[in-house]
Structure 1
Amino acid sequence: MHGKRVLLVIGGGIAAYKTLELIRLLRREGVEIAPVLTEAGAEFVTPLSVAALAGQAVNQELFDLTREAEMGHIQLSRAADLVVVAPATANLMAKLAAGLADDLASTLLLATDKPVLMAPAMNVRMWDHAATRRNRAQLGADGVSFVGPDEGPMACGEFGPGRMAEPPAILAAIRRALGGALQLTDLANPPLAAPAPLAGRRVLVTSGPTHEPIDPVRYIANRSSGAQGTAIAAALRDLGAEVVFVTGPAEVPPPPGVEVVKVETAAEMARAVEAALPVDVAVMAAAVADWRVENGSDRKIKKDGSGRPPSLQMAENTDILATVSQPGPCRPALVVGFAAETHDVIAHATAKRARKGCDWIVANDVSPGTGIMGGTENAVTLITPAGAEEWPRLPKAEVARRLATRVAEALAAPAPLVPPAPR
């Protein structure tokens, strides 16, 4: 990217501190940066720190007499190869979606003829609000690209999607954007927005743990938070898919814009999955319990004074992934399983793919110390008939985006893996 020029708009949000690191990474790649700091952005990072890292004066005022004598805002908007907004607040997104231009940043965004990449950052409720979702869809239709947001804990104490993507992820998105065509857009004949790649496709996603009751008070469970499955459902939704989201008792709320089916036990999840078929794609991200308590009690089990623990008889649960993967008229065109392993990850996952009969397995190492299960990041290996493809450690939202993109590419391939499910 050496010699490329990026117009960097810094919006007003706590995530603005991450933008300073992004500037450092871009400068290391040889990118020239023209920084624009909004009035609200200056409440979080100083013009001095931005200018020192960017090596350029910070642009803040629309009515700068010296620069505007030469139509400075037009020159700024046209001189760059790419416009990046990080953090992209709900306000900035709304302004561009509505075509408003009442300050330097919004005027530049409206005046530019270059590609625009936004890295949203806001409270989870703001991101999930119908107005923001509407603006996000409009901007996407207008040709604006997005990276993130990620999912995780926020400065306000809430948890969910809305965290600005990490600087390395934004850098990767900038690389992709600059690798494409950088010709001037023909404003008289703008290209039509491409249809969403998964429009018209029905996708099933399972997520979260299952709880297998011992008695009305106690149950057997695992440490899955449901964060990765939730992010996958959101990413597939964003590509236009109709998503059926079957979730166990997860720590994170379901994403908006999908059909939610809440379950507790593996047996309930199996029934919900069967009811959702047929679908074009099944992504089985849930951490389903392998066993259930066969002799559970409908009353709380009490100590009997003997000092001996109760004897629990275990029975194997229905193998949902294997059932969905079986050949037949309701078999999805693509079945993606998950393998959470603590050792010999690739070997176990490869064997699981063959044993279950699914098309792909997303494998990850959840051994103690990785922070994967219940955390905000994931490091996965995608197991396909072609072999093992290791992905770097990324925010779970970025893992989800990559997987959703691969799903869309697989469905668009001339020869699907198996015949699609009948409708």
Structure 2
Amino acid sequence: MRVVLSTYGSRGDVEPLLALAERLREAGAEVRVCAPPEEEFAARLAQAGVPLVAVGESVRTLVSGPPPKPEDFPARAAALVAGFYEAVLAEAEPGGAVVATGLFPSAAGARSAAEAVGARFVHVSLQPTMLPSPHHPPFQYPGRPQAPEGTGNAELWERDVESMNALFGGVVNAHRAAVGLPPVDNVRDHVLTGRPWLATDEVLGPWRRPAALDVVQTGAWLAADRRPLGAEVEEFLAAGAPPVYVGFGSMPMRGSADVARLAVEQARALGRRVVVGRGWAGLGPAGDGGHCLVVGEVNHQALFPRVAAVVHHGGAGTTTAAARAGAPQLVVPQMVDQPYWAARVAELGIGAVYDAAVPSAASVAAALRTVLDPATRARAAAVAGGIRTDGAEVAARLLLEPAAG
């Protein structure tokens, strides 16, 4: 059986697909991953023996460069729909499966390809807030009309159908017509399907019921990372007390660069050594001699259990990795699902949220004191014990045994 995994997004969108790909290959399935043409994605997938089918432009170039112009949005969306349709269609097979996540136009293209080839289609969300629910509001797309203050979640989700149709309905249906598929009148629900999957941990990102949507929560898809930390990192860790890790992954941090600098400075002021993850923001050294180490690509699963705290952007992958390691977290959310994960960290008592409009040394220091408090670490350790690691196995079983799903 061939399974095509599809996404257009950052590392946090690709890594879960790697986890699922590993479990599927262990069960004898043939796997392809359609994703952006990043060298780091290809390298990680190659380690698992999974080929990358490169689709679209580099996400890193896109997020690190000038912000796209609003007038370019329809053309970009249409290109993603067409690009993922063609790539998935070329790789999928009748009776196989297509699993899609990532930006909506890419998932829409994958959905149409699965329909055209006769493959089973599953849409997976990597955060609960992207799925319709009475318990949370939908994501507000830029440029769309704001609902009146006090509008309930049910009505907001009805408005979301209108927004999704306005933003994506035209390009999706134009492409479907071009390839001989019938139009759809509710593009959001067509792509999400009546039974989407949710690849989040039930402790960190629970699906709250009652809800009309029949969601299958598999647990988070976690790929085992067996890469060594390297001599430089090991030497730094051995040279003193556990450091604070500061890194923002795939976020360019255009509007919050000062937070990274202040986090490093204030951690040092509190007597803590620091490991800085360079990331896509290109964070640099703090000029603090042997007390600050800057690293590039690093194994979070090996590093986070050995740090005093993790300061990060609130991506699903980093949040889960830190929580699984029992490391207290200071979350600086930037966009989309990150405010949700930041709120969950605070609600669970395993860290704090920093979202000050004007960052200051005093406020960053106060947040770090909360995160570094022994009570926060004790709570983080307790929560870590309840996090499951078999989500990708559950998903693989559901894919290969459809009757069970």
Larger radius of gyration: 1
Q: Which has the higher helix share?
A: 2
* Bigger relative contact order (CA 8 A; separation at least 6): 2
Question: If the length of structure 2 is used for normalisation, what is the TM-score?
Answer: 0.30
